[in-house]
Amino acid sequence: MSRPFKLEIAESEAELKKRLQFAREAIHKEKLQMLWWVKSGQVKQQQEIAQRLGRDTSTVTRWLQQYRHDGLKGLLEIRKAPGAVRKLSDEVLADLQQQLNRPEGFSSYGEIVEWLEIKHGVTVKYATVYQWVRYRLGAKLKVARPMSYRQDSQAVENFKKTLEQP
C-alpha cells in the first residue's frame, strides 16, 4: 500500500479554478488542474492524478515536489536551456559591419573567414559567415566584376563587311 498523500495547497480553490480558466500553456493547465483536484478533494492518491492526466507517476511526483519546494510560481515557471554561446561577439560583429561598409569591402566570404581568424582569433565556418553577413547583417560583398570588353565599333563594322561578302 502506498504512503499517505499529503499536500497543503496555499491557494484557494476559487483562485486555482480562475487561474485554470485563464491559463494559456497546456502544461500550466495540467499543473493547475492537478492542484485544483487535490484542493477540491477529488483525488486522494498520486496514481489517480497521473491516471487522470495521462502522465507517469514520476512526473506527478516531480511536480508535487516542485510545488512543495517553490510554490505555485516555481511550479508554473518554464525554464529554457541557455543554448550555445555565440562565436561572434557583439564587438566582432560591429567590426565586421564596419569593414563591410568600407568601399573596398571583401571580395569573398572566404576572405571574411580569414580576416576573422587573423584579426579577432575567431574560427568560424564558411556557412556561418555567409549566414551572418548575408541574412543577419544584410550586407552584400563588394565583388569587382570583370567588365565586358568594350566593342570597337570599327572592328564590328569590319566583321559585318566580311559576312556580307560572298
pLDDT digits (tens, 9 = 90+) for 74-99: 999 988 888 888 888 899 999 999 98
Question: What's the pTM value of the predicted model, to 2 decimals?
Answer: 0.53
CA–CA dist 58, 60 (Å, integer): 5
Question: What integer pLDDT is reported at residue 75 of this predicted model?
Answer: 92
Domain boundaries, the chain: 13-76, 90-136
Helix 13-22 to helix 26-40 angle, to the nearest 10 degrees? 160
Nearest to 95 by CA among 35, 37, 137, 40: 137
Of the candidates 107, 102, 91, 90, the residue with the CA atom closest to the CA atom of residue 142? 107
Among the listed residues 68, 76, 71, 46, the one whose alpha carbon sits nearest the alpha carbon of residue 59: 46
